Amino acid sequence: MSKETIKLIANNKKAYHDYFIDETYEAGISLAGTEVKSVRMGKCSIKEAFIRVDQGEVFIYGMHINPYEKGNIFNKDPLRVRKLLLHKYEINKINGKIAQKGYTMVPLKVYLKGSLVKVEIGLARGKKLYDKRQDIAKKDQRREAEKEFKVKNLY
């Protein structure tokens, strides 16, 4: 069995800054042919995207896929709503968690797994301002420690 290669297309760094990610799920995504070609070329953004569960199906809103240059009439709307492909038990589990106060679904990554386009989605809780400040302080401390370590090793 060969290892499937994973090629990262889009990453949502802002999601890690704004939310605590409790669980992650890997979902397939329903795309048209020209959209797949565009994603393979790396023309995809999930910065403003969000996810909703509607009538037992999961949809991603605001995911931007640039129209394929050689696609003419077959190109779809770049911001259209796309269906995410998950197992029924995963959707039920997600729905139960979202029903709890404070949980939401955010897209974290878009990547190619072998020949398939996958979206990693996270079950997230919103961070308060003081949580964000704590994260920034930890990052600064780590950066300072690395800087001191480099300086010590130079002499």
**Encoding tokens for residue 134?**
């704590």
Taking a C-beta distance cutoff of 8 angstroms, is the pair 63, 94 a contact? no
* Stretches in the chain below the pLDDT threshold 70: 1-3, 71-77, 130, 154-155
Report how far residue 67's alpha carbon sits from residue 55's, in angstroms, rounded to the nearest whole number.
29
Element containing residue 143 per DSSP (H, E) = helix 129-154
Q: In angstroms, rounded to a whole number, what is the distance separating the alpha carbons of residues 108 and 64? A: 14
Domain assignments of the chain as residue spans, ordered by start: 6-127
User: Which pLDDT belongs to residue 9?
Assistant: 83
Q: Give the phi and the psi of residue 54 in degrees, each rounded to 5.
A: -135, 115
Can you give the pLDDT at residue 109?
A: 86
Architecture of domain 6-127: Beta Barrel (2.40)
Question: What pLDDT score was predicted for residue 68?
Answer: 75
Q: What is the pLDDT of residue 73?
A: 67
